[in-house]
Amino acid sequence: MPYNLKEGVHWWAINTRANFERTVEEQLVGRSLPAFLPTYRTFSTRKDRKKIVTLPLFRGYLFAHVDLSVFETRVAILRARGVAKIVGGPDGPEPVPDEQIETVTRLCASDRLLEPWGKIEVGKRVRIVSGGLTGVTGVVVDIKGKNKKIICNVELLGRAVATELRPEDIEAIGRFDPEDSPG
Whole-number pLDDT of residue 67: 96
The more confidently predicted of residues 137 and 97 is 97
Strand, coil or helix: 76: helix
Co-location of 21 and 91 in the same domain: yes
Please give the average per-residue pLDDT across 24-32, as a whole number: 97
The more confidently predicted of residues 171 and 99 is 99
Helix locations, 5-162, DSSP H: 21-30, 71-78, 98-109
CATH number, domain of 135, equals: 2.30.30.30
Cα distance between residue 113 and residue 33, in whole Å:
29
Burial class for 125, CB neighbours closer than 10 Å (0-12, 13-18, 19+): middle
Nearest 5 degrees, angle CA 163-CA 164-CA 166?
A: 135
Whether the pLDDT of residue 156 is over 70: the answer is no
Q: List Cα–Cα distances, 29 to 35, 94, 120, in angstroms.
A: 6, 21, 33
In a domain, 160, yes or no: yes
Co-location of 83 and 142 in the same domain: no
Contact 147, 58 (CB under 8 A): no
Whole-number pLDDT of residue 143: 79
Co-location of 105 and 145 in the same domain: no
Instruction: Note if the pTM is more than 0.85.
Output: no
Residue 99 phi, psi dihedral angles, 5° rounding: -60, -40
Co-location of 132 and 104 in the same domain: no
Cα distance between residue 174 and residue 171, in whole Å:
10
In a domain, 118, yes or no: no
Co-location of 136 and 164 in the same domain: yes
Whole-number pLDDT of residue 181: 41
Q: List Cα–Cα distances, 28 to 18, 64, 122, in angstroms.
A: 17, 8, 39
Which tens digit of pLDDT belongs to each residue from 64-105?
Answer: 999 999 999 999 999 999 999 999 888 889 999 998 898 888
Which tens digit of pLDDT belongs to each residue from 94-134?
Answer: 999 998 898 888 888 877 667 666 667 788 888 888 777 77
Cα distance between residue 29 and residue 77, in whole Å:
10
Contact 127, 140 (CB under 8 A): no
Tally of domains in the chain: 2
Whole-number pLDDT of residue 140: 83
Neighbours of 33 (CB within 10 A): 16
